[in-house]
Structure 1
Amino acid sequence: MTRLVDDRLAILYRQNEVVGGVYACRGQEGLTVAATMALGADDFVAPIIRNMGAMLVRGIAPRDIFCQYMARRDGPTNGRDLNTHFGDLSKGVVAPISMLGSLIPVMIGIALARKARGGNSVTLSFIGDGG
């Protein structure tokens, strides 16, 4: 599914339907999908631009991803932001921060807060190519 969405985004980009850039995840999707599939229902993941597979595994609809990349009003941010810059806490997806590595302390905070409340959840953060 990740590769299909990634390929379709590339086509939409070539058709000038995408606002901004497309950050392909081809070749990295296996690690992202496998790591995210290992998470439980109460766990959280913080994907960044090349970790779209994590969003799909956690239940973000491909339609939402397409609408987001195309800056559509019916997208997750109502056309106000681009690419994968959105999350859904009800699905355990924390929205990305552009600066690579910046989500690490955020995810530590989520894990500590959950532990302080008696929870036993795991958090997963990706740091990208240059993180």
Structure 2
Amino acid sequence: MTAASAPATSTAEAGGRVLDHPARDEIRIEGVLHALSDPMRLRIVRELAAADAELTCSCFELPVSKSTSTHHFRVLRESGIVRQIYRGTAKMNGLRRDDLDALFPGLLDSVLDAANRQLRRVGEDR
């Protein structure tokens, strides 16, 4: 079975914590676009893309409650945009850029470019 045809994956790390992620072939454009349509989730994706590295959830200064932040990360993970794994007690987040670029060539770069242009045009996130 190839990575593209593998079933949904679960990542078990420290403490036996398991996070479900869709396999590449399970990622749907509707789910990706829905996830990216929220300003907070788009902000998370922009920050991950700019960092070009995995970041902990606590690295993001979002103007929402912790439970709402957790919800946003879950939507991003379940849509296939980010991969979350535990390293010790930290939950690390990384963009699934390879998967997204293989499925939807240019989509992520176009969305990020548009979001950055909008940010320059209208100012900081509201």
Q: Same fold (TM over 0.5)?
A: no
What TM-score results when the alignment is normalised by the length of structure 1? 0.29
More helix by share: 2
